[in-house]
Amino acid sequence: MKKIIIVALITIAIFSSGCLESIHANEGYTDTVIEKKFIDVSKEGSHYLLVTGKGTFEVDRPLLDTFNQSRNPDTVYSKIIEGKKYRLHHYGYRIDWLYEYPIVVDATKIEL
């Protein structure tokens, strides 16, 4: 009985934490101009961030997409140029209390 309660509590914690958001939840495309791009470095690691007129996005892999080398965040981030317009392919939701941003998996340059 104790094991069932522990498993239930862990399951509830995972689902309520929002960490499963990036498993292709809320897939979408946003056409926007990249106002600023920067790398946020902290003790927890580094994050590729894009600031746009339509919100902030993070360039990364979705949680269960770790072994898909066609979606390399280093490559996607490096090809983005500030001041240019892109169609961002992204997953996830904005979660304020977790400081999470939608995850960009691809960026295609489009005309202004």
Residue 51, pLDDT above cutoff 70:
yes
Listed in sequence order, the DSSP H helices in the chain are: 2-17, 73-79
Residue 58, pLDDT above cutoff 60:
yes
Structural domains in the chain (count): 1
Q: How far is CA 92 from CA 5, 33, 73, in A?
A: 29, 20, 16
pLDDT in tens, 29-43: 999 999 999 999 988
Question: Looking at the whole model, is its pTM more than 0.85?
Answer: no
* Between 29 and 7, residue with greater pLDDT: 29
Residue written as token pair 């106002």:
35
d(CA 46, CA 42): 6
Look up the domain containing 27 and give its range: 2-110
Burial degree of 47 (CB within 10 A; 0-12, 13-18, 19+): middle
Angle (CA) 39 107 93, round 5°: 70
The CATH number of the domain holding residue 57 is 2.40.50
